[in-house]
A and B are shown apart, each in its own frame.
Chain A
Amino acid sequence: MTMISPAVQLKRLVTLVRTEVLVLPSRVIVAMFVLALLGLPLVSQNPYLIRVIILTSVFAILAASWDLLSGFTGQMNFGHALFFGMGAYTSALLNIHFAIPPWGSVPMGALAAVLTGLIVGIPCLRLRGTYLALTTMAFPIILMGIVFALPDLTGGELGISGLQRLSNSLVGNYYIYVVTMLVLSAVMWKITDSHTGIIFHAIREDELAVRASGINTTRYKLMAFCLSGFFAGISGGMYAHYMRIAGPSTLEVSMSFSVVIWAVFGGLATIYGPIAAVFVLFPFLEFVRFWPEYRTMIFAVVVLLILLYMPEGIVHWARDKMEKECPRCKIRNVATRKSCRVCTALLD
């Protein structure tokens, strides 16, 4: 192969950006969001701001991992904190008791969460609706019981503290968390955009019909549990290493519920919806921390308003304001266009 000169490569990149990114407002926003995240430390290194964005990134991974399981396959998991706590506690134990550094303990925490996904997934295969919701809710409570029953190992109420951070520099940590979030989000989105993603979608729509198409739905449902556990486990481990503590709060019911609320707020079965939701809601909640007595109430009101007026989530609502779909080829166009940019059909 001949080498392509840098000038030609740059030209190609510019063309790509012009034809693929600049044509749609939503893509421009995503590109600007990524650039802003990556460029932030160049503008400000305010420790409080950096901390908020690091935690937001952790919870964005968590919310997207819930969507991968529940939004896509429709197996509503109301105990997602189980995977988060499992990742947090496993990496904390490995880091403190076995002196395994974070780059080893976080993936092992994720593997523990995958195993947990299998253990939880199997009894959940036959369950639906309320029964599934209650069963999934029970698992983190069981794990919390184990945590309190073994205080020598888990630190009981106090948790395991003194964990090593991934990086000791503020900016180093920031980039590790933000880049991990961006990469894992892209991976999750790619999974859902693949053939496997179509099967996940179809299982949510009608499981029996998927079986009648010759697909082993048991395998795919368990796969969804394990994949979701993996990503949630990573976010749990990274959370523990950032906070330098893994405590029972990671397993709380409120944690599980927050995840569900974020995902519904952003829009189910999208991956990017829950991520956007966390980036809106988490900093917002940090902001209203100045009025602690109203915090929960403001949160509840905002969520209620969203559910009433944007039932498909904030992302689809915003996208439909800016773009419209071509009735013929289903390609999205800027709302101001009169005809489709690909097939030139008239947009109404």
Chain B
Amino acid sequence: MTVPFLEVEGLTKSFGGLRAVNDVKFRMEQKEVLGLIGPNGAGKTTLLRLLTGILKPDSGSVRFKGKELVGHKLWDIVNMGVACTFQNMRPFRRLPIIANVMVSCLSPRSMGRGEWVKVVEAKAMDALEFAGISDMALEKASTLSQGDLKRLEVARAVATDPELLLLDEPFGGLSPAETELMAKSIRRLHKGGRFGRLHSEGPAMIIVEHKLQQLMKIVDRIVVLNFGTLLAEGTPEEVVNNPRVIEAYLGQQGGQ
């Protein structure tokens, strides 16, 4: 029997009386790109935070390549190969962009991969190059625009050499042109290959996004969350034509 790449079972998390994530169960294969959608407040961010150990679930399990992640520290999980970005970006504002990414390059996982790369600065630079913000490497993060901050988030996550990348609204607040660029970066990353000293094996991804049109073009499969519960699961076509999904989205003013 082969071990599943990612196996989530019975994951539950309450805030006071509110069940933000309720008995969620799904599986993922290696290199799969999974879209995670749902109306505002459905529990998408909470689910991602449970996967990376930022939050501790009340019950349930997350097995990544056969290893239980629940109970591990965030940094351990990142070093096992699961990286995440923050929906409301969290850059190190008073540090230059390059230093923001160097922190990720200094993680044990990133340092241990590719013995031929000992130069942290160079690897950080390549991550910035990949995300398309290398020309601003020396600027302070506080001077970046919304779109560039999103790119910085991606560069930071990619610099840890993840096998599973969790992106929380990578298109959030971006203009159509910026969205197109970001989508291109994501597809390029998924295809894998070398970006300078950065070696991507094409990580699996979970992408949370409200911009469904752009999301559809990237993902293999979509999971829909509503009030913390799994509502539907399937290919993009199946999901958008699912009456329960349409109802859930119409109940809240709909997706874009």
Let me know if A210 is at the binding interface, CB within 8 A: yes
Q: Are A201 and B110 in contact (CB under 8 A)?
A: no
Q: Are B107 and A213 in contact (CB under 8 A)?
A: yes
Let me know if A329 is at the binding interface, CB within 8 A: yes
In the A-B complex, the 7 residue pairs with the smallest Cβ-Cβ separation, listed nearest first, are: A214-B107, A214-B78, A205-B92, A213-B104, A209-B90, A211-B74, A330-B138
- Which of B73, B92, B157 has the most A CB atoms < 10 Å from its CB? B92
Let me know if B93 is at the binding interface, CB within 8 A: yes
Q: Are B95 and A198 in contact (CB under 8 A)?
A: yes
Q: Are A216 and B75 in contact (CB under 8 A)?
A: yes
**Complex A-B: 10 CB contacts under 8 Å:** A198-B102, A199-B103, A205-B91, A206-B92, A209-B90, A211-B75, A212-B54, A214-B75, A214-B110, A217-B75
Q: Are B86 and A212 in contact (CB under 8 A)?
A: yes
Interface residues on B, range: 20 to 34
Minimum CB–CB distance for A179 against chain B, Å: 32
If A195-B102, A198-B99 touch, does A209 touch B75 (CB 8 Å cutoff)?
Answer: no
Contacting residues, chain A, for B73 (C-beta < 8 A) = 211, 216
Let me know if A215 is at the binding interface, CB within 8 A: yes
A205 to B94, CA, bound (A): 7
Among B75, B92, B138, the residue within 8 A (CB) of A202 is B92
Interface residues on A, range: 10 to 19
Closest A residue to B90 using CB positions: A209
Let me know if B109 is at the binding interface, CB within 8 A: yes
If A198-B102, A202-B92, A202-B99 touch, does A213 touch B78 (CB 8 Å cutoff)?
Answer: yes
- Seen from chain A, the residues whose Cβ lies within 8 Å of a Cβ on chain B are 195, 198-199, 201-202, 205-206, 208-217, 329-330
Closest B residue to A211 using CB positions: B74
Contacting residues, chain A, for B69 (C-beta < 8 A) = none
A205 to B141, CA, bound (A): 11
Given contacts A208-B90, A214-B79, 20 further A-B contacts (CB under 8 A): A195-B102, A195-B106, A198-B99, A199-B103, A205-B91, A209-B91, A209-B156, A210-B103, A211-B78, A212-B54, A212-B78, A212-B83, A212-B90, A213-B75, A214-B83, A214-B110, A215-B75, A215-B103, A215-B106, A215-B107
- Which of A195, A212, A329 has the most B CB atoms < 10 Å from its CB? A212
Closest B residue to A219 using CB positions: B75
Binary interface profile of B, 78-102, with partner A (CB < 8 Å = 1, else 0)?
Answer: 1100011010001111111001101
